[in-house]
Amino acid sequence: MPKNLISIRDFSKDEMLHVLDIASEFEADREQNFLAGKVIACLFFEPSTRTRLSFEAAVNRLGARVIGFPDNRNTSQTKGETLEDTIKIVSNYVDMIVMRHPQAGAADVAASVASVPVINAGDGANQHPTQTLLDLYSIQKTQGRLDDLVIDMVGDLKYGRTVHSLTEALSLFDTKFVYTAPEELRMPQKYLDLLESRHIPYVQTDDIEYALNDCDILYMTRVQQERFSDMDEYNKVKDVYRLSASMLGGVKKNMRILHPLPRVNEIATDVDSTPYAYYFQQAGNGMYVRMAIISYLLGYR
């Protein structure tokens, strides 16, 4: 059975830390060519800028070649082909499949029929494990540690897959969580149950000021318009939080603001020039972390 990364639960804590170490090695020297001769498929059934392009850049920097598509409009899925059949076919051509899909659980389905490793590049509102690893890398890089931190996640905690995967990963460390969301967008109970089972403290609030001055990481998220079936419900919550530079007067000196991006209105552009903004560097870290994930899953590190 190939080793996959479908959920962040597929990696132990030691494996996560190992991937962060490899990423650091690649950040120091990004011209690696040890995957020459390999071909990797990037199959994106849902829009992406960062994840797709950083994966494709990672494949190129490792010396491999990439095939795939940025949307499925020109694939035989438009003729009714199933995801399972598509994945079985692509498995014949490549050494690894990276896939994003709008349906939660689609990555699991792909892995169940693939004969090569599958990496989940985001499946619906479920998981985004490679984002989690680059988030961990960014937290470690800015804070110097992954333990003894207060992480305040703000925004759409219901549909935001990145906060789900990151909660699972950080629950293996000594973390205190603050979940800042309106009632309609709260963190799903199954993640709160997981924290309780691991004796990890958390509080829930709808007030963005509540933990602003106490947190080490402020993890902002976009309200995920594409997951709402009722646009009236979306319009009610879409602008619920807007972080601006004037709100940052009392924050910890080393506090850093992360955001998986894209942002819409939740971070004003005047935050970008403050020392707390780290979201663009965070996206940059993604390429090194994805180089590391590919190398690890293919058995090269």
Name the minimum Å distance from CB 134 to ligand CP. Answer: 9
Site pattern 8..47 for ligand CP (x: CB under 6 A): ----------------------------------------
260 lies in the site for ligand CP, by CB under 6 A: yes
Nearer to ligand CP, 44 or 202 (CB): 44
Nearer to ligand CP, 261 or 294 (CB): 261
SS3 67: strand
Name the minimum Å distance from CB 193 to ligand CP. Answer: 26
- Of the residues 100, 158, 161, 176, only one is catalytic, namely 100
d(CA 10, CA 300): 18
Would residue 13 show up in a list of annotated catalytic residues for this protein?
no
Nearer to ligand CP, 54 or 175 (CB): 54
Pick one of 4, 7, 51, 126: the residue that binds ligand CP (CB under 6 A).
51
DSSP per-residue string spanning 5-34: BSSGGGS-HHHHHHHHHHHHHHHH-----T
Q: 248 near 276, Cβ under 8 Å? A: yes
Pick one of 98, 200, 261, 287: the residue that binds ligand CP (CB under 6 A).
261
SS3 85: helix
Would residue 253 show up in a list of annotated catalytic residues for this protein?
no
Size of the site for ligand CP (CB under 6 A): 9
Nearer to ligand CP, 42 or 297 (CB): 42
User: What angle, 0 to 180 degrees and rounded to 10, lies between the N-to-C axes of helices 129-143 and 50-61?
Assistant: 80
251 lies in the site for ligand CP, by CB under 6 A: no
d(CA 87, CA 95): 12
Name the minimum Å distance from CB 47 to ligand CP. Answer: 7
Q: Please give, one letter per residue, the 3-state secondary structure of 243-280.
A: ECHHHHCCCCCCCEEECCCCCCCCECHHHCCCCCECHH
50 lies in the site for ligand CP, by CB under 6 A: yes
d(CA 232, CA 38): 47
Would residue 128 show up in a list of annotated catalytic residues for this protein?
yes
Residue with tokens 């850049």: 57
Would residue 79 show up in a list of annotated catalytic residues for this protein?
yes
Name the minimum Å distance from CB 49 to ligand CP. Answer: 4
Name the minimum Å distance from CB 263 to ligand CP. Answer: 10
Among residues 169, 114, 122, 125, the alpha carbon closest in space to that of 146 is found at 169
d(CA 69, CA 122): 15
Sites for ligand CP among residues 113-132 (CB under 6 A): 122, 131
Nearer to ligand CP, 85 or 226 (CB): 226
- Of the residues 38, 52, 128, 301, only one is catalytic, namely 128
Other Cβ atoms less than 10 A from the Cβ of 236: the count is 14
Pick one of 7, 11, 41, 48: the residue that binds ligand CP (CB under 6 A).
48
DSSP 40: E
Helix, strand, coil shares, percent, the chain, to 5: 40, 15, 40
Contact segment (CB under 6 A) with ligand CP among 7-15, 77-85, 240-248, 257-265 equals: 257-265
Would residue 186 show up in a list of annotated catalytic residues for this protein?
no
d(CA 93, CA 66): 11
So which residues are the catalytic ones? 50-51, 79, 100, 128
Residues lying near ligand CP in the complex (CB under 6 A) are found at 48-51, 122, 131, 260-262
